[in-house]
Each structure stands twice: as C-alpha cells, then as structure tokens.
Amino acid sequence: MNFQVRDLSKAGDAVLEGYLQELYTFTIESFKVPSASFKFHAASLSQTWQRILQESQALKVACQNKVEDIVNQLIAVYLEENLR
C-alpha cells in the first residue's frame, strides 16, 4: 500500500481504477472478518483510503467521483459490520 495516487494516475486511469477496485474488495472482505487482528488492521486500511481520497482531490484525478463513492461505501460497510 506504499504508493501515491500521482504515480498510479500517471500510469493511466485504468491502472488506478483497477488498483482501487482490488483494494476496495480486500478492504470490504477485511471489514467482515470477525478476527481481532483484522479489526486492528482496519485502521491502517482506513488511513490508506483517507490518503487516497485526499491525494485524488488534490490532483483532481479523472475518477475522483468513483473514489468518493468508494470511500462512502466503505464507511457504510464498516459501520454496519461494527455496530451490530
């Protein structure tokens, strides 16, 4: 997860969107695992998504709306999984 949105956006929108989709899938599955270690690492994933959101806003990347939608979905899933 050590990358910058700038690097991926230079590689092309398809590369950035593909990476975001894979990270999204991993994050969603991680949020659904009841293990304490996964819950601990959820904070790191959340920080990664926060950084992605901030960098994509600053760079005004083409898929900005998609990033915002993904972050909103992640917040909803995290709350749903942890507030039961």
d(C-alpha 25, C-alpha 33), whole Å = 13
pTM of the model: 0.79
Question: pLDDT value at position 3?
Answer: 66
pLDDT per residue as tens digits for the range 25-83: 998 888 888 777 777 777 888 888 999 889 889 988 888 888 999 999 988 988 887 77
* Residues spanned by the domain of 29: 5-82
Structural domain count of the chain:
1
- pLDDT confidence tier of residue 2, bands split at 50, 70 and 90: low
How many Å apart are CA 22 and CA 52, to the nearest integer?
14
